[in-house]
């Protein structure tokens, strides 16, 4: 199977019932808020992005509708890790390779549909699922 370049963790996403509480945790660690509670109507969520002093990104995802993509994850918990996003050099080729080992595409490749940094505005992303890791995102 052809290998593609993994370029690093793009971000870690947390699903939460309270952006305020989750963001407070990360700001106590020194993270700065980049975007706060920006709605994505398509998914029924509010997105908050935070950046650590060394550049790592955390995405906080709070549902605003009971049928949102994260509401079911929060039935019995206040917050949980939602997904990890991996930066890759070739999104389409990586997606095909991962499909070849059992990865299932959840969202077709799209431009980043949430408030994004200038760098991210030029990238595309796709959510996938694999039984060995659960939901994840690839960005490139």
Digit-coded pLDDT (tens) for 59-81: 999 999 999 989 999 999 999 99
Report the alpha-carbon distance of residue 109 to residue 102 in Å, rounded.
18
Residue pair 131/102 in contact (Cβ under 8 Å)? The answer is yes
What pLDDT, in 10s, does the model give residues 4-59? 688 999 999 999 999 999 999 999 999 999 999 999 888 899 999 999 999 999 99
Band of pLDDT at residue 122, cut at 50, 70 and 90: confident
Q: Is 106 left (phi over 0), alpha (psi -120 to 50) or beta?
A: alpha
pLDDT(1) > 90: no
Structure-derived torsion over alpha carbons of residues 78, 83, 84, 89, reported in degrees to the nearest 10: -150
Residue 63: exposure state from Cβ atoms within 10 A (0-12, 13-18, ≥19): buried
The pLDDT score that the predictor gives to residue 45 is 94
Tokens of 77: 């918990």
Q: Residue 135: pLDDT above 60?
A: yes
Place of tokens 């390779």: 97
Domains of the chain: which residue ranges?
6-139
Residue 16 CB neighbours (<10 A): 25
Residue 97 pLDDT grade (very low, low, confident, very high; cuts 50, 70, 90)? very high
- Measured in whole angstroms, the distance separating CA 9 from the mean position of its chain's CA atoms is 10
With cut-offs at 50, 70 and 90, classify the pLDDT of residue 115: low
- Is CATH 3.10.180.10 the classification given to domain 6-139? yes
Task: Kindly state the average pLDDT of the residues 120-136.
Answer: 90
């Amino acid at each position: 199977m052809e290998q593609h370049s993994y370029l690093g963790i793009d971000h870690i996403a947390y699903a939460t019932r309270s952006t305020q509480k989750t963001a407070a945790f990360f700001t106590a660690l020194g993270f700065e808020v980049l975007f706060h509670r920006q709605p994505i109507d398509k998914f029924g969520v509010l997105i908050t992005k935070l950046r650590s002093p060394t550049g790592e990104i955390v995405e906080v995802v709070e549902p605003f509708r009971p049928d949102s993509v994260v509401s079911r994850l929060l039935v019995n918990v206040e917050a949980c890790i939602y997904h990890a996003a991996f930066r890759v050099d070739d999104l389409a080729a990586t997606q095909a390779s991962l499909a070849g080992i059992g990865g299932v595409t959840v969202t077709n490749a799209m431009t980043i549909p949430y408030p994004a940094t200038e760098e991210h505005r030029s990238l595309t992303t796709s959510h996938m699922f694999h039984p060995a890791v659960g939901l994840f995102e690839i960005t490139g």
